[in-house]
Structure formats: C-alpha cells, structure tokens
Amino acid sequence: MKARIRVVRTVEDQILHSLPVFCLQCEEAYCMAICPAEAITENASGARVVDEEKCIGCKLCEMACPVGAITVNPDKGVAIKCTLCEGDPNCVRYCFAGANFHAFFALITIVGILLGVFIARPAYAAIVEILLKE
C-alpha cells in the first residue's frame, strides 16, 4: 500500500523544515469535479475516494488539487488520495509527535483557510467522532 500523505522537506538557513501534505477533503473538491471518468466519489463518512476500477490515470485530479495531495500511483496507474482510513485515520493514530484532535484539526483548518479551501463538513464530523472515542 502506498502512503497517502507526503512530507515535503526544505532546508533554510541550515534548518530542516518538514511539511506534511495530505488531503483536506475539500467541500468543493476540484479533483472530483474535473475527473472525466467520475472515479472520485464521496463515501458515507464524507471522504472523497478513488474507484480504482473507474480511474483512467489521466492526472487531471493531480493538477486540480490545490494542495497537491492526490497523485497517480506509478505502479498501478491510478490516482491515490486520503480515504480517512475508512474512518480510523492512521496519520493521527501513529503521528510521532503525538498529534491529537486539537492539533490535527487546527492544522487542517489553518491550511484550509490559507489556501481558501473549505473542508467537507461530513468528513470533518466523521474524524471528530472517531477521535473523540479515544
């Protein structure tokens, strides 16, 4: 399985900076709107997911994503993106920094606001519900 989160690293003034790049589950999902095969749909938890059977690997979704969170898997030739791990986000559970509900959503909200992207309310609510169980 390929990771659906990337870490972009840059060095500035001899300091390594790491920035996670992940799907924001946008309310107005450009990747979903531009897909000519209609391979990206919304599941019951509000996450935008790729149907590998329908995806033609054209990379239009990759170009349309405002945060660069969707890519085409070179091995399979189909798009991959965050699915919220079917309701149990591993990026939160296994975060080495011990990210919790507040830190995770503060980051998503800030990134979304800075990019002018609105996070899908059903997906946001689903993650909140999952994380409050812990």
Is there a contact between 26 and 117 (Cβ–Cβ < 8 Å)? yes
Q: Which fold has domain 6-133?
A: Alpha-Beta Plaits (3.30.70)
Pairing of strands 40-42, 15-21: unpaired
Question: How much is the CA Rg of the chain, to the nearest whole Å?
Answer: 15
Is there a contact between 120 and 48 (Cβ–Cβ < 8 Å)? yes
Q: Which two tokens stand for residue 64?
A: 């349309």
Any idea where the domains of the chain sit in the sequence?
Answer: 6-133
Q: Per-residue confidence of the chain (134 residues) as pLDDT tens digits?
A: 566 777 777 888 888 877 777 788 888 899 999 999 999 999 887 889 999 999 999 999 999 998 888 999 989 999 999 887 776 777 767 766 555 544 555 666 666 656 555 555 555 555 555 555 55
Q: Distance (Å, rounded) from C-alpha 92 to C-alpha 107?
A: 12
Is there a contact between 47 and 126 (Cβ–Cβ < 8 Å)? yes
